[in-house]
Each structure stands twice: as structure tokens, then as C-alpha cells.
């Protein structure tokens, strides 16, 4: 049922106070900010220094971001680019060939898979793990064929996938691995930055991401030849001024974006720690509400909580997830659904839907994201706790 449909609420049994959605008093009159993306004076100063310099193209600030973000991610090379979708394209093109079958998550943002299609490859959907929402490598192993050449795995919501399992399957079948870390800046796995693993790792710096510059992206890798190929592809295969040895694109970043990225990177480690502390506060609230489950993390992974995504057991409540979220909004708690459809159920990807990802399909009606950022206060958590408990009690089956 969509958020706009009429609620089908059966009479309440044990509700203590009237929900704001039914005319009661909201827990908070003003909604809690869902995210915190505002620039600081330091970011503005960094951007305006570039504007004043007149050096607007990709130059020193992009290079600085590449060097610092590579180091922070545990990768040897980092190449900035225009956005996270270009980053996927730049990583896939040298590693995957048209006609290859690529194992892809059924539960992710579309770009992870649409760029596999754009490369002329065949996406083979792999189901999600119901507790972590990450790609299920046991399902992936069952879907390997003689044509499988790669794995495109998303570190979703800020949580690394089971990298050991991905790398083991890749090694067994000689597959290339690209990790989509658009949502997972500075995440670690078994103590190492996620840039240390796989053939390439891609990032998005879209405005709402943990490291947001407006638009922007990057690719990391540890292989010198691959880094060279990606740099050539990024800039029209140009090996010398107006000498083009390969067909490529203009997927470059610019120095205004680079400067904002560098400035924001200064604060990212602290902000990430705050997100992790906030996730622990949420876990305590959610664990105490039967029917709601906090997101589990992959063993060995340190998540950076781009999103804090809760799973709702809809059999434990009298309303759908969308109605539950509508009531939360009325109490002052905005939510968002990432994602309202599994990828095999996207019309654009229907050709590759083999109807064998039941967990991902079910997640689309179960999950919702709560406000998550570094500016959440104790007062916000008081409101969050009260609103979640109020709505859950009112709608308990």
C-alpha cells in the first residue's frame, strides 16, 4: 500500500495516547531533521579560495582529495570523477566485458546494476541477507555459471558486505570484484579500510552522502595498470595534449568540488564516530520494541551508518509499514524508504528478473530509515524514542 492510500487501521486495543495522525498531540511539533548536509564556513572558504584562484578544473584540490581519501580508505590509488554512477562505469569498463554475467545485489540502489547493463553485461540477481540487508554470498555461489565473470557488491547503508565470502567466491571462479561503497565512506572490514579489498571500490559524493560535495565520486584500486586505465577513460583516453590513444569520456571532477571534499574530509572521521554512537542509541530504542529490528552488521565489519534502517515485522502490527511511517511523521519523526522496490522488480530491469530473490522483495515492504546524521541531539533521541514507542503501542496487533 502506498503512503497516500487510506489507512486500514483496525480498532486499537492497548493504545495509551491518541496518535497525532488521528488528531492527538504530536511528540514534537517540529520534525527532526532527517539529514545534516549544510556547509560550514570552512567549506565555503575552501570553495571560494578556488573560485578566487580561477583554477576551476580538476587540479590540486582534486589531487589532494585523492591522496587523502585513498589513505583514509586503505587504498593505493584514488581517482576522483563526476559522480558515483560515472565511478561505477569507470570501474566496470576495464574489468567486465560485454556479454559477461555479473552477480549483482537484488537489494541496492539501481546504479550498481544499471551500469552493469550499460556495459553490455548480464546482471544475475543475488538475494539479500534478511538481517544485514547485504548481498547473500551463499545465494551468489548457487548462481555462478560458466559465463560468470564478476561480482558487483554494494556495501549498503554504510555496512560492508561479507568481504571474505566475496573474495573467496571470486578466487574460486576467477571473478573480478567491484565494491560499490557510495554509502560507505571510511567503513572498515576486519580492521582494514574497505579500499584494501577487491579489484576496485567506487564512491559517490552526492549531496546527502556521508562525504557529500553536491555531485562527485571516486574510484579506488590497488593495481597500477588499472588505475592508469581508469584515468585514461576518465579523460578521453588522452595520453598527451590532444593525443587520444583510447576512447574515453569526460568524467572529471572539478577543483571547487575537490575543495569542498577536502574540507569535509577534515570532519568526516569525527562525524562517523558520532553516527556510530547514534546507531548504538537507536539500537537500544529499537531492541526494546517488539516487531522492530535494528540493522545487523556483517561479522568483522565496522559500519558507518549512512542510513539507519529498521526492519518492521508487519505481522506484529495492525498497519502497513507505510502507515506506520505516516504516523511517525505526524509525531515529528520523518522516515524514508530505501528502497520501495527490489531491483529485479524495477521496470527497467524486468528483463533480468528471475523471481528468485524473495528476501529482497519482502524487504521493500518492511524497511524504513530513521533520521541519521552527526547533528542528532539527546533531545532528538528523546523524541525518537517516545514517538517510536507511541506509534508501535498504538498499532500493536
Ligand X SMILES: Cc1ncc(COP(=O)(O)O)c(C=O)c1O
Contact residues: ligand X, CB under 6 A: 83-85, 108-109, 111-112, 154, 180, 182-183, 204, 206, 217
Quote the DSSP letter at residue 322: H
C-beta of 157 vs 395, nearer to ligand X: 157
C-beta of 83 vs 148, nearer to ligand X: 83
- Grid cell, residue 148, equals 560468470
The answer to whether 216 and 261 are in contact (CB under 8 A) is: yes
Helices 255-287 + 378-394 axis angle, to 10: 50
Least distance from C-beta 21 to ligand X, angstroms? 29
C-beta of 314 vs 364, nearer to ligand X: 364
Of 151, 17, 170, 18, nearest to 96 by C-alpha is 151
Residue corresponding to grid cell 524486468 = 350
For residue 339, whether the previous peptide bond is cis, meaning omega lies within 30 degrees of 0, is: yes
C-beta of 135 vs 182, nearer to ligand X: 182
Residue corresponding to grid cell 503501542 = 393
Least distance from C-beta 118 to ligand X, angstroms? 12
C-beta of 92 vs 395, nearer to ligand X: 92
Residue corresponding to grid cell 574489468 = 95
C-beta of 140 vs 253, nearer to ligand X: 253
With H, G, I as helix, E, B as strand and everything else as coil, classify residue 187: coil
C-beta of 182 vs 325, nearer to ligand X: 182
CA atoms of 184 and 233, how far apart (whole Å)? 24
CA atoms of 163 and 255, how far apart (whole Å)? 33
Least distance from C-beta 155 to ligand X, angstroms? 8
DSSP states along 268-303: HHHHHHHHHHHHHHHHHHHHTSTTEEPPPPPTTEE-
Least distance from C-beta 233 to ligand X, angstroms? 16
With H, G, I as helix, E, B as strand and everything else as coil, classify residue 42: helix
CA atoms of 27 and 14, how far apart (whole Å)? 18
Least distance from C-beta 204 to ligand X, angstroms? 3
Determine the residue with CB nearest ligand X.
Answer: 84
C-beta of 154 vs 335, nearer to ligand X: 154
With H, G, I as helix, E, B as strand and everything else as coil, classify residue 383: helix
With H, G, I as helix, E, B as strand and everything else as coil, classify residue 315: helix
C-beta of 65 vs 330, nearer to ligand X: 65
Q: Long-range contacts: 264-267, Cβ < 8 Å, 24+?
A: 264/43, 264/211, 264/212, 264/213, 265/65, 265/68, 265/69, 265/72, 265/211, 266/42, 267/40
Least distance from C-beta 314 to ligand X, angstroms? 25
Residue 204's DSSP bridge partners are: 217
| Residue 31 φ/ψ, nearest 5 degrees | -70, 145
Least distance from C-beta 18 to ligand X, angstroms? 38
The answer to whether 341 and 319 are in contact (CB under 8 A) is: no
- Grid cell, residue 393, equals 503501542
Least distance from C-beta 75 to ligand X, angstroms? 17
C-beta of 152 vs 310, nearer to ligand X: 152
Least distance from C-beta 180 to ligand X, angstroms? 5
CA atoms of 57 and 252, how far apart (whole Å)? 8
Least distance from C-beta 35 to ligand X, angstroms? 13
Amino acid at each position: 500500500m502506498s503512503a497516500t492510500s487510506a489507512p486500514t487501521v483496525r480498532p486499537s486495543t492497548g493504545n495509551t495516547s491518541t496518535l497525532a495522525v488521528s488528531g492527538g498531540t504530536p511528540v514534537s511539533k517540529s520534525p527532526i531533521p532527517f539529514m545534516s548536509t549544510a556547509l560550514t564556513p570552512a567549506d565555503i572558504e575552501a570553495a571560494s579560495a578556488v573560485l578566487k584562484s580561477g583554477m576551476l578544473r580538476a587540479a590540486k584540490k582534486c589531487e589532494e582529495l585523492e591522496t587523502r581519501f585513498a589513505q583514509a580508505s586503505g587504498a593505493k590509488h584514488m581517482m576522483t570523477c563526476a559522480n558515483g554512477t560515472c565511478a561505477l562505469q569507470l570501474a566496470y569498463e576495464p574489468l567486465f566485458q560485454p556479454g559477461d554475467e555479473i552477480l549483482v545485489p537484488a537489494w541496492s540502489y539501481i546504479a550498481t546494476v544499471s551500469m552493469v547493463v550499460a556495459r553490455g553485461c548480464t546482471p544475475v540477481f543475488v538475494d539479500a541477507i534478511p538481517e544485514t540487508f547485504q548481498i547473500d554470498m551463499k545465494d551468489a555461489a548457487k548462481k555462478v555459471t560458466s559465463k560468470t565473470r564478476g561480482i558487483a557488491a554494494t556495501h549498503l547503508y554504510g555496512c560492508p558486505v561479507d568481504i571474505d565470502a566475496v573474495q573467496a567466491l571470486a578466487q574460486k571462479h576467477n571473478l573480478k570484484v567491484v565494491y560499490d561503497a557510495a554509502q560507505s565512506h571510511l567503513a572498515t572490514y576486519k580492521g582494514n579500510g574497505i579500499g584494501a579489498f577487491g579489484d576496485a571500490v567506487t564512491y559517490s559524493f552526492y549531496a546527502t552522502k556521508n562525504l557529500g560535495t553536491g555531485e562527485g565520486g571516486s574510484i579506488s584500486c590497488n593495481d597500477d595498470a588499472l588505475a592508469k586505465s581508469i584515468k585514461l577513460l576518465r579523460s578521453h583516453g588522452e595520453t598527451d595534449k590532444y593525443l587520444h590513444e583510447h576512447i574515453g569520456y569526460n568524467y572529471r571532477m572539478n577543483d571547487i568540488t575537490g575543495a569542498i571534499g577536502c574540507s569535509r574530509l577534515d570532519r568526516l572521521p569525527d562525524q562517523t564516530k558520532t553516527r556510530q554512537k547514534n546507531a548504538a542509541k537507536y539500537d537500544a530504542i529499537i531492541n526494546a520494541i517488539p516487531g522492530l529490528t535494528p540493522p545487523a552488521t556483517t561479522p568483522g565489519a565496522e559500519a558507518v551508518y549512512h542510513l539507519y534502517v529498521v526492519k518492521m515485522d508487519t505481522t506484529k502490527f495492525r498497519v502497513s509499514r507505510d502507515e506506520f511511517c505516516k504516523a511517525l511523521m505526524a509525531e515529528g519523526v520523518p522516515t524514508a524508504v530505501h528502497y520501495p522496490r527490489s531491483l529485479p522488480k524495477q521496470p527497467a530491469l524486468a528483463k533480468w528478473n528471475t523471481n528468485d530473490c524473495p528476501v529482497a522483495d519482502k524487504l521493500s515492504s518492511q524497511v524504513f530509515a530513521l533520521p541519521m546524521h552527526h547533528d542528532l541531539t539527546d533531545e532528538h533521541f528523546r523524541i525518537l524514542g517516545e514517538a517510536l514507542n507511541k506509534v508501535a503501542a498504538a498499532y500493536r496487533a
